[in-house]
Structure 1
Amino acid sequence: MTAALKRRLYRGGRPGRLMRVWNRVDTVLYRLPLLRRSAAAVLTVRGRRSGRLVQVPVAVAEVDGVAHLVSMLGPGAGWVRNVEAAGGRARLHWRGRERDVLLASVPVEDRPPVLRRYLAVAPGARPHVGLGPDASLARLRKVADRLPVYRVLDAASAPPMGEDA
């Protein structure tokens, strides 16, 4: 898929009709056992307006043994706004395991190494970011302020999101 086509499918920073269907398919595929060793994951978060649980396919970027999520579409992405409204509380299905998590925003100055790893494990994000995994840290610093990055923390002590997830 070309970079221009990929950006067109997410016109205005939101997935179009085709990509919404594609994302639903990905949320099913990303739960399959054959993807347990990959970066593919499903994030479940409560919708800020509807209150319903919303599932989104995401890629997990591990840096120094710590899992991170990045929004290729920036701070206006629906899942980012939902996570912010939920106080960072979400559920993550990754590597065959589903658990409640707390997503903590990573300071802008700490984002470049995470972005590099993210671009390595999420090639579909490269057209949106405009960089690849071989980009210099200086170039990654230039885009770091427009790409939300979250550290995935265990939320075992937090109350569960609900039984309908």
Structure 2
Amino acid sequence: MYAGGRPNRWARFLNRISAMVFSLGVVGHGAVSLETVNPKSRTLLTLPLVVARYEGSEYAVSMLGQGSRWVRNVRAANGNAVIHAGRRRPVLLEEVRADARAPILKAYLAQAPGARPHIPVDLSEPVAAFESIAADFPVFKIRDV
């Protein structure tokens, strides 16, 4: 459903439904809707996301890598976004350095089973195995504004 790192029509449909359900805050397990704004068209992008929890902090991880639209939008907006899970929560997403992402990526895979096909390291591998792919998968620390 994500050939070439882009969602096909079916995935886009499922993402819309999931984003609506996740925004209600009834799913739990870190399921949220992430809202970003396209800097050129000013259109709102809302998508479902599983927030990773690691060492007491929350992280947004791009399972599709550097080319994800939400990643580009967040970078263009200097990290400003909104998380919606029962209530709207303005947040600042601060990008984590690539050399600090490996343990967060491993924790993310444990918490987001749907991401496992997209990240080329198995959950059972040690944290060191994630270091070789960490630069390819953006991770953002979530801070309340």
TM superposition score category, shorter chain reference: over 0.9
Matched length: 145
Q: CA RMSD in A?
A: 1.2
2:128 and 2:29 mapped to 1: Cα distance?
A: 28
Residue 34 of structure 1: aligned partner: 26
Q: 2:13 aligns with which of 21, 24, 32?
A: 21
Q: Which runs of 5+ in 1 are unaligned?
A: 1-8, 156-165
Larger radius of gyration: 1
Matched-pair identity in %? 41
Distance 1:87 1:32 in 2: 26
- For the 8 Å contact 1:90–1:101, the answer to whether it is kept is yes
The question of 1:113 aligning with 2:103 is answered yes
Partners of 1:48 and 1:81 within 8 A in 2: no
Show structure 1 runs of 4+ deviating over 6 A. Answer: none
Where 1:142 maps in the other structure, the secondary structure is coil
Structure 1 length-normalised TM: 0.83
Q: TM-score by structure 2 length?
A: 0.94
Task: Report how far residue 130 of structure 1 moved.
Answer: 2.1
Superposed CA deviations along residues 60-106 of structure 1, whole A, max 9, x for unmatched, are 00111110011011111111011111111000113x33211010000
**1:120–1:132 CA contact under 8 A, matched in 2:** no
- Equivalent residue letter for 2:67: G
**C-alpha distance in 2 between matches for 1:126 and 1:38:** 16
